[in-house]
Chains A and B, each alone.
Chain A
Amino acid sequence: MTTTPIVIDDLTKRYDSDVLAVDHLTLSIGGGSVFGLLGPNGAGKTTTMRMLVGLIHPSSGGVRIFGEPVKPGAAVLRRVGVLVEGPGFVPHLSGRENLELFWKAGGEPMSDSNVDRALEIADLGDAANRKYKTYSHGMRQRLGLAQALLGKPDLLILDEPTDGLDPQQMRQTRGVLRSAAASGTTVLVSSHLLSEVEQVCDHVAVMDKGRLVATGAVSELLGATTAVYVEVDDVGLATQVLNALGGVGSVAPEGRGLSVDLGGVERKEITAALVRAGVGVETITARHHLEDAFIGLLEHQ
């Protein structure tokens, strides 16, 4: 019998001004998956995550993690690894010292952590023994992720973990998240980039203005997105083919490819049509910015 890792019940946070940062959010996050929390900046993702780990007091409603109500310093937090709004480390200490101090501050024995493994994930090399203030942005971000993984957590809560990373580091980070999930850890990751969520998450919840807009499997949610970016070797021919295809809304050149409004047509249909016409298809992805996905989502409702 397993307990649901995260149960959010009617969670609301109202700041002094009458703004609702999080507006009656109810959501369950099941075990052993990578769950994406998607939304534009200011959607309430970070506030939600801070409430999940007891940093912010909810105005009403509550959160249970592995069945235990969350409050500041709750015992269940020992099972949770956190990276929220960027890494935070003591500048005059090395990466290694920072991880050790972080762990000891939790009052738990060093043997429950794995600093060497975490530093491996952070991929700092010799820099692990250099002062943190000399680290680049990417190194800091990776050390933050390593810190979250330090205690072999059952639940990872990561706020924009790929923020500011270069493409290769992003890929490494996605690998870390997938392997954590494969070993049974539940991963909750926030992002404002649909492409990020698409590549790593199984399930996703979309937030906007503090409210839950949609939730479901990533494949379902992408089905609701009508705009895709198609990269092909022959843009001119591809434009003709797609315009000739019944049901496709609009086709416009964008960068080295095409921005296509699918209308009701499925992605596999346009791929097949392009291939039949002899067009080499490099990639088809959902439009990269969430705003577009949102528009798709809202138009379908």
Chain B
Amino acid sequence: MIAVEARKQALRLRTYIGLGLVALIPIIFTASFKANPPKGHALGLFDLTASGLNIPIAALAAESAFLLIVVVSLFAGETISGEANWGTLSYLLVRPVSRNRVLGSKLVVAAGLALLATLVVPVVGLAVGTLAFGWHPITTPSLTIVSQGSALGRLALSTLYVAWSQAAYLSFAFMLSTMTDSAFAAVAGGVGLGVVSQILNNISALNGTSYIYPTHYLDAWQHLFFQQGSSTEMLRGVVLQLPYVLVFLGIAWWWFNRKDVLS
């Protein structure tokens, strides 16, 4: 069932457009910094062009704020509603397979694609960055030198953190996908949650409550490289996703199991 779903998505142009967009940003970064090397600090890094390892860090920071939200919502929001649009949902559910299994396979593949999209950022960033600026230790803004090996480890941890930090809007788009036949609405819902959460998080009058917004700790991983965030915040960020995931997926399962499938 998971293999079938994976194959269905693997043969879709949309999947490659999503992954391609995500891969494009580190390439654009590298090209533009190669053409116009910034003077001094850029994107919070001490000297961006000093090492290829800086590129994936910068790209991850830039993409997690919006583009990844869009791509992850795209993968999650089209799961069930996309089938409804094709008219294939009925035929998926008239087989001797429980709805739980159908939904589970869809979720596994959507989450797998979201993880893949997040991984593409540092992998492409590392590749093009190293080609352009070489394989050197990085210097953080506090002038600490971080070796290549250590930087790679931190980058891996950061990537997983960013991937998990998208769980709330992934779950939200997935939930909407079980409720509406409009894939667009479900995707837009996921993006909306990510964007609104960031806006609310930036309103200082709401500071007292800002720690509940799903994107509040989105940048906490950056303390591994810059003076921003902390490991405590990272831990909170990880835990913060849980209630969102549980509630949204809980509703998705409840809804889908009692849904009358008319398309």
Contact = CB atoms under 8 A, between A and B. Distances in A.
A49 to B, nearest CB: 10
Interface in A55-72: 55-57, 72
A78 interface: yes
Contact of B92 (A54, A74, A97, A105): A105
Given A55-B260, A93-B11, A101-B4, A106 B97 contact: yes
A265 to B, nearest CB: 45
Interface string A64-90: 000000001111111010101111111
A90 B86 contact: yes
B13 A92 contact: yes
A72 B90 contact: no
A78 B13 contact: no
Nearest to A78: B96
Contacts of B86: 88-91
Contacts of B5: 105
Contacts of B91: 82, 88, 102, 147
Residue of A53, A85, A88, A107 contacting most chain B CB atoms (<10 Å)? A88
A72 B98 contact: yes
B261 A85 contact: no
A76 B96 CA distance: 7
Interface of A is mostly: loop
Interface string B1-20: 10111011001110000000
A107 B93 CA distance: 12
Interface residues of A, number: 34
Contact of B93 (A54, A76, A87, A89): A54
A101 B7 contact: yes
A224 to B, nearest CB: 33
A55 B262 CA distance: 8
A87 to B, nearest CB: 7
B8 A72 contact: no
A82 B260 contact: no
B231 interface: no
A107 B94 contact: no
Contacts of B257: 72
A261 B232 CA distance: 87
Contacts of B90: 50, 55, 82, 84-85, 88
Interface residues of B, number: 30
Interface string A142-163: 0000010000000000000000
Interface in B20-73: none
A104 interface: yes
Contacts of B88: 88-90
B8 A101 contact: yes
A106 B99 CA distance: 11
Contact of A77 (B12, B94, B258, B263): B94
B92 A53 contact: no
A265 B205 CA distance: 87
A57 B258 contact: yes
Nearest to A93: B11
Contact of B95 (A84, A86, A93, A106): A106
Given A87-B87, A90-B86, A73 B95 contact: yes
A77 B257 CA distance: 17
Given A55-B260, A56-B260, A73 B93 contact: yes
A102 B87 CA distance: 13
B251 interface: no
A248 B30 CA distance: 90
A72 B87 contact: no
B7 to A, nearest CB: 7
B97 to A, nearest CB: 5
Contact of B96 (A56, A73, A147): A73
Contact of B1 (A74, A84, A87, A107): A107
Nearest to A144: B91
B21 to A, nearest CB: 19
B96 A88 contact: no
A104 B91 CA distance: 12
A72 B86 CA distance: 20
Given A72-B99, A93-B11, A105-B97, A50 B92 contact: no
Shortest 8 CB-CB contacts between residues of A and residues of B: A88-B87, A106-B95, A73-B98, A55-B261, A88-B88, A78-B96, A56-B260, A82-B94
14 contacts: A53-B94, A55-B93, A56-B261, A72-B257, A75-B96, A77-B95, A85-B87, A85-B263, A88-B87, A90-B88, A105-B4, A105-B97, A107-B95, A108-B96
Interface of A: 50, 53-57, 72-78, 80, 82, 84-93, 97, 101-102, 104-108, 147
